[in-house]
Amino acid sequence: MEPQPTSQQALAACDRVIAMIQRSLTMEAAGHPPDDTIRVPLVRYALAQVRQRIAPALTPGWLEADPVHVVMFGGTNSGKSTVLNILLGRPAAGMSYRTRFSQHPEAYRAACLGDRFLDDFPTRFAGYQRFLNEHPPRRDDAELRAQGYRYALAVHDPARLPGPPLAPAVAPTAVFWDIPDFSTEQATLYMPAVLDTVALADLIVMTVTKENYADHRGGLLRGLVCAAGVPLRVVANKLEDGSRLLDDIRLKLADTVDETCRVPDDCLHPLPHVKDTDEQGRLRLLLSDRESIALRAAIAADVALGLRLKKHALRGAIHFLDRRLDDLLAPLKAEVSVTEYWHRLVERTARSEFYDRYRRDYLDGEQYVDFNQTLVKLLDLLEVPGIGPIISAVSKGLRRISTAIIGTAATALRSFFRAGKPAAEIRAPERDVVVACFEHWLENLKNEAQVQADRADHPAWSRIALQLGSYDFILNFTQELGAAYIQYRERMDLITDQRARALYDIIRQNPRLLHSLRGLKLALDAGTTGLIVASHGLNWTDAVIAPLVIPLQRLLLEYGVEKYLDVQKARLKADQFDAFGEMIETNMVTPVRRLFVGAVSPEEMETARRDFDILKAAILEMAEES
């Protein structure tokens, strides 16, 4: 049996889970621009559950400091405040026909309970301004649109509010919450405050009327509440036409695919529509009604369950989060999926358009000249003792003296070649292959990104396609490729030096071969060899190098070192492919891969799941039935 996590481990895991769900909420908002679609606020509700209920439950002394919370929940003008006053037995909450009269959560509790249920739990209503025994200021619709919603809550002692007590409070040890409605367009601005309050509820009293009992948004939110395992009582308020409407409400509440969303008959409470215009008069009549008396008795019995009720709600919350964890992390998972797909695409395209094409068109093609360059460098190592170094020194001196003359000649020679041959034949063959690889790779990436952007799966694809089609981006990358290629060729110069040295070492073991090659070296003009090696604008092509290396290769074959020649050529190709791959990976693949780096990594996703497992184990141990 695995050891249970310590309270500190669980609290740390909870903090990380909160951070991940917050990131998921941010990603969800970015992926859904504002529109008229009514969506289930699953991620936001889950975040509220962890902050308002789960994190406080991990705090030492939670059960002693946190009373039962009863939350009034309903659409605009559904009579939440009226039902709350029935339960409190006095006109404490504002009873108004004005739309969106309540804009902030307001708690009503006996003074003896104090405010530990807020003070002891820093994640609960974090960032809310608190008002004591006064209502937070309301803002009209224009102010809400211009200034946004300002998070605030109020805590009231009913005994200090105007209005006489008309009946005892049904549960003096509970905190009763009156919260904003959820059914109007403006209510979306303070929906987080609604969810924050509902999330800490141990018991929810949902009010409906004939105008809103079939409200779509209300049905979605009721489904969330029921799925989280919070006990729910529904008050059918302001009834005028008796059982026929009540039966229709009952059918509507039962008409759901999810069994957890069904409201049992004994949890549906009708209340009559009292038209007395005096607030206290209406409340007196309601308090004397037998349905109100039954409702008060039912709520009192629920609250009397105390710790059992709170533990039941706690278990329901953690099981709800467990069942919906994949859905909660779906926006982050989508981010990871795009990241992984993009990275795989970049690497797959690099393999086919850079690595495979480079190997096929250059390393294994007819234009491959780097091994011939190695053989030319071998000639430089085959100095004849005595006269050989003198000839080389003279050759090098002549080159230094006549640099300008040679440069001019080289320019003229290139012009001569261009006059008689297509430009493609006189350019460096490897460079042409690399440029072609780059063009194919970038074009394929841009096309694929555009296909994904057209599907509108994720906004990142449009940004990637836009960048890949940007002139500045392409110009920058072309320049980077050029600079990287120069560095790569400098590295290849060292590699061919190493291969030439390896060939020379094997040749030295055969004196006859060494003597013959030194003779060949003298036969070939060292100065001319040096000129070609130095290049001075002439490209390494077979047309230039072949006259030098053909007699050298023949001698090597005659002396039986053909196999070793093939080994050195294969090693050179392997080294060259590795060097080329490092250049492409560092300067091409990695920067393009970074065009999209998701907000979360696969490792962080795995950590989030482990953290939730720690959290779940701690909560279930705490919420066990005593």
| Share of residues in the chain with pLDDT > 70 (%) | 79
| pLDDT tens figures, 315-338 | 999 999 999 999 999 888 888 888
- Name the domain boundary from 309, 344, 364: 309
Query: What is the C-alpha to C-alpha distance for residues 334 and 356, in angstroms, rounded to an integer?
Result: 31
For the chain, give me the number of helices (H) and strands (E)?
29, 8
Highest mean pLDDT among 92-101, 182-191, 399-408, 580-589: 580-589
Given a cut of 60, whether residue 304 has pLDDT beyond it is: yes
User: pLDDT at position 382, please?
Assistant: 76
3-state secondary structure 569-596: HHHHHHHHHHHHHHHHHHHHHHHHHCCC
Q: Decide if 41 is inside a domain.
A: no
Average pLDDT over residues 83-109: 78
Residues 482 and 417 grouped into a single domain: yes
Average pLDDT over residues 141-148: 80
Q: Decide if 284 is inside a domain.
A: yes
Highest mean pLDDT among 47-56, 263-272, 280-289, 442-451: 47-56
- Sort strands 152-156 and 232-239 into parallel, antiparallel or unpaired: unpaired
Structure tokens that stand for 96 in this block: 């108004």
Residues 258 and 226: beta-carbon distance below 8 Å: yes
| Share of residues in the chain with pLDDT > 90 (%) | 36
User: pLDDT at position 244, please?
Assistant: 73
User: pLDDT at position 524, please?
Assistant: 60
Higher pLDDT, 296 or 186: 296
Higher pLDDT, 32 or 55: 55
User: pLDDT at position 400, please?
Assistant: 45
Residues 245 and 352 grouped into a single domain: no
Coil, helix or strand at residue 230: coil
pLDDT band per the 50, 70, 90 thresholds, residue 420 = very low
**Block residue for tokens 């008050």:** 235
| pLDDT tens figures, 350-379 | 999 889 999 999 999 888 888 888 887 887
Q: Decide if 80 is inside a domain.
A: yes
Residue 192 parent element (H or E): helix 191-199
Q: Decide if 42 is inside a domain.
A: no
> What is the CATH classification number for the domain harbouring 121?
3.40.50.300
Residues 345 and 486 grouped into a single domain: yes
Q: Decide if 49 is inside a domain.
A: no
What lies within 8 Å, CB to CB, of 400 at 6+ separation is none
**Block residue for tokens 């555009």:** 450
Given a cut of 70, whether residue 555 has pLDDT beyond it is: no
Residues 189 and 138 grouped into a single domain: yes
| pLDDT tens figures, 424-458 | 334 578 888 888 888 889 899 999 989 988 886 67
User: pLDDT at position 299, please?
Assistant: 96
- Name the domain boundary from 258, 277, 309: 309
Query: What is the C-alpha to C-alpha distance for residues 570 and 563, in angstroms, rounded to an integer?
Result: 11
- 308-312, 440-444, 487-491, 595-599 — which is least confidently predicted? 595-599
Given a cut of 80, whether residue 518 has pLDDT beyond it is: no
Residues 147 and 214 grouped into a single domain: yes
| pLDDT tens figures, 468-487 | 888 888 888 888 888 888 99
Query: What is the C-alpha to C-alpha distance for residues 205 and 78, in angstroms, rounded to an integer?
Result: 12
Nearest to 606 by CA among 357, 420, 351, 336: 336
Given a cut of 90, whether residue 568 has pLDDT beyond it is: no
User: pLDDT at position 395, please?
Assistant: 46
Which residues on adjacent β-strands are paired with residue 276? none
Residues 253 and 367 grouped into a single domain: no
Higher pLDDT, 30 or 446: 446
User: pLDDT at position 609, please?
Assistant: 94
Cα dihedral 410/415/419/420 (nearest 10): 10
Average pLDDT over residues 515-519: 74
Coil, helix or strand at residue 237: strand
Burial 395-432 (b: 16+ CB within 10 A, else e): beeeeeeeeeebeeebeeeeeebeeeeeeeebeebbee
Residues 303 and 341 grouped into a single domain: no
User: pLDDT at position 12, please?
Assistant: 94
Average pLDDT over residues 520-536: 52
Taking every pair of Cα atoms in the chain, the longest distance, rounded to a whole number of angstroms, is: 127
Higher pLDDT, 403 or 242: 242
- Average pLDDT of the chain is 81
Average pLDDT over residues 74-82: 84
Average pLDDT over residues 258-272: 79
Q: Decide if 459 is inside a domain.
A: yes
Given a cut of 60, whether residue 559 has pLDDT beyond it is: yes
Residues 289 and 353 grouped into a single domain: no
Q: Decide if 176 is inside a domain.
A: yes
Instruction: Look at the chain and count its residues.
Output: 626
Q: Decide if 151 is inside a domain.
A: yes
What lies within 8 Å, CB to CB, of 244 at 6+ separation is none
Highest mean pLDDT among 38-42, 273-277, 282-286: 282-286
User: pLDDT at position 399, please?
Assistant: 40
Average pLDDT over residues 14-30: 90
Which residues on adjacent β-strands are paired with residue 200? none
Range list of β-strands (E), 186-256: 203-208, 232-239
Higher pLDDT, 522 or 356: 356
Residues 404 and 280 grouped into a single domain: no
Residues 20 and 604: beta-carbon distance below 8 Å: yes
Residues 426 and 501 grouped into a single domain: yes
* Packing angle, helices 191-199 and 216-227, rounded to 10: 30
Given a cut of 60, whether residue 398 has pLDDT beyond it is: no
Query: What is the C-alpha to C-alpha distance for residues 189 and 104, in angstroms, rounded to an integer?
Result: 11
Burial 97-133 (b: 16+ CB within 10 A, else e): eeebbbbbbbbbbbeebeeebbebbebbbeebeebee
- 200-204, 384-388, 506-510, 616-620 — which is least confidently predicted? 384-388
Residues 390 and 526 grouped into a single domain: yes
Q: Is residue 243 classed exposed, middle or buried when 0-12, 13-18 and 19+ CB atoms within 10 A define those classes?
A: exposed
Query: What is the C-alpha to C-alpha distance for residues 325 and 277, in angstroms, rounded to an integer?
Result: 49
User: pLDDT at position 34, please?
Assistant: 53
Residues 24 and 332: beta-carbon distance below 8 Å: yes
- 183-192, 366-375, 397-406, 546-555 — which is least confidently predicted? 397-406
Average pLDDT over residues 514-533: 60
Residues 282 and 361 grouped into a single domain: no
pLDDT band per the 50, 70, 90 thresholds, residue 549 = low
- Name the domain boundary from 293, 309, 325: 309
Given a cut of 60, whether residue 495 has pLDDT beyond it is: yes
User: pLDDT at position 406, please?
Assistant: 34
User: pLDDT at position 418, please?
Assistant: 41
Domain hosting 222: range is 67-309
Coil, helix or strand at residue 565: helix
Given a cut of 90, whether residue 525 has pLDDT beyond it is: no
pLDDT band per the 50, 70, 90 thresholds, residue 537 = very low
Structurally, how many domains does the chain consist of?
A: 2
Query: What is the C-alpha to C-alpha distance for residues 400 and 380, in angstroms, rounded to an integer?
Result: 17
User: pLDDT at position 66, please?
Assistant: 94
Higher pLDDT, 515 or 227: 227
Distances (CA, A) of 34 to 39, 188, 334: 11, 11, 19
Higher pLDDT, 8 or 599: 8
